[in-house]
Amino acid sequence: MSEKDLKKGTTTLGLVCKDGIVMATEMRATMGNLIGHKTTQKLFRISDNMGLTVAGLVGDAQMLARWLSAEVKLYELKTGRQMSLKAASTLMANIMNGRRYMPFWVQLLLGGIDSDGSHVYSLDAAGGSIPDKFQTTGSGSPFVYGVLEDRFKEDLTVEQGKVLGVRALIAAMKRDSASGDGISMCVINSKGYHAVSPEELKKIETKLEA
């Protein structure tokens, strides 16, 4: 196993809002007690209507993100329409379940919008696929759940979701040594997939610290 495959450590989250989806991660990758990278990509654009967050081994996570993106693009080319979140989550679950001899060492969140609304699915290494209103994965997830259980509301807007996502990740980064070094976030709504700029994230952080 290469040095790259040994890099891990993560906190990710996905929130279902009334006008879209918010997905976010921090950016640290660890190798035991060593911080391997401080700008690790853990949030991937899969298509205009869906995104993927990854926790676990970097090699497995990046390969699965590329695999799903290719399958979704092929589906769109063949059918002329977007793949539903349920179909994409089932496809990803089947891929992960099919590798029983050496499971993918990852936890994934697949989120986005389709004709049935907004969705976030949690996918585990055994191929389990579970939808919920909010989800979090990785070593910092207990701290994120503490914030989300207290502050999440069914009628949350995307703008409120961005603030809540930053608040939850800050809580994880303060207490989980494998999480840190900044935040990556996206919004997925009727207008498509949009990355939240570092400048906007910094403004949210500053307001929360005030």
Catalytic-role residue among 10, 12, 30, 53: 10
Pairing type for strands 183-189 and 192-195 reads antiparallel
3-state secondary structure of 24: strand
Q: In 130-158, which positions are buried (b, 16+ CB within 10 angstroms) versus exposed (e)? A: eeebbbbbbbbbebbbebbeeebeeebeb
CA distance 36 to 58: 11
Cβ atoms within 10 Å of 36's Cβ, excluding its own:
17
Confirm whether 40 is a catalytic residue. Answer: no
Could you tell me which of 78, 81, 7, 20 has the C-alpha nearest to residue 51? Answer: 20
* Distance in angstroms (rounded) separating the CA atoms of residues 192 and 50: 8
- Tell me 8's DSSP state: B
**CA 152 – CA 38 distance, rounded (Å):** 29
Rounded Cα gap, residues 154 and 134, in angstroms: 10
What amino acid positions are annotated as catalytic residues?
Answer: 10
